[in-house]
Structure 1
Amino acid sequence: MAYQVAVEFLLAVKAANIRDPKFRDEAMRSAKSACLNTAEGAGRITRPDKARAFAIARGEAVEAVAAVEICALVGDVEESAAARCVAIAKHLVALLTALAR
């Protein structure tokens, strides 16, 4: 479930079409990392290993959504696209927070 939400978030960040190339790169790298770390956590065996990977994924998701929000504040992304990213990120962060415990 968390991995599917991470992928949905990645696709929403991509669809946001961030105009600033540096922020677009940062948001995409962080969103991709959130997907990879979520998958890694699912594949780990011990509880501490799982928690570490899920916590990293959570941090990456927060970083990606912050980049989108900052771009929305300065007009480098449409408000509706940013709002979609924020909504998905809230769901993803809640899932990852529970998994990291």
Structure 2
Amino acid sequence: MTDQNMTPRSALPHHSLVAYQVAVEFLLAVKRANIRDAKFRDEAVRAAKSVCLNSAEGAGRVTRADKARAFAIARGEAVEAVAAVEICALAGDVEQDAADECVVIARRLLALLTRLSR
């Protein structure tokens, strides 16, 4: 493929990584949850953004150990973000349906990141 034929979305390693695509889906679900507690909303969104960044970083790393480290960090951030949403649902600061959507996406994301971090 020549530079002329490359689209902006096909030129970078993280664009073809399924875990990155699911991480973006997770971030959007966390944002859609519209957490009413500002501190928890900030924490959940920051952690979800970090999942995206660390997944992209893992895709861009060269050695297996570097890749695994970045994906392991992304996994930890995903757990933090989904836990924040779940806690907010328990506290009445987010609708249960929105929290459930985040949990479903997080399960898939964690499975992908776990495999990548090994």
Does TM-score exceed 0.5, indicating one fold?
Answer: yes
How many residues matched?
A: 101
- Which amino acid letter does the alignment assign opposite residue 80 of structure 1? D
Give how far 1:16 is off. Answer: 0.2
Q: Using CA pairs below 8 Å that are at least 6 residues apart, which structure has the higher relative contact order?
A: 1
Runs of 4+ in 1 over 2 A off after TM superposition: none
Give how far 1:88 is off. Answer: 0.2
Determine helix, strand or coil for the equivalent of 2:35: coil
> What is the CA RMSD across the aligned residues, in angstroms?
0.2
1:49 aligns with 2:71: no
What stretches of structure 2 of length at least 5 have no aligned partner?
A: 1-17
| Mapping of residues 50-69 of structure 1, within 5 Å | 50-69=67-86
Give how far 1:62 is off. Answer: 0.3
In structure 1, distance between residues paired with 2:91 and 2:84: 11
Look up the match of 1:28.
Answer: 45
- Which amino acid letter does the alignment assign opposite residue 78 of structure 2? A
TM-score normalised per structure 1: 1.00
Which of the two has higher C-alpha Rg? 2
What stretches of structure 1 of length at least 5 have no aligned partner?
A: none
TM-score normalised per structure 2: 0.85
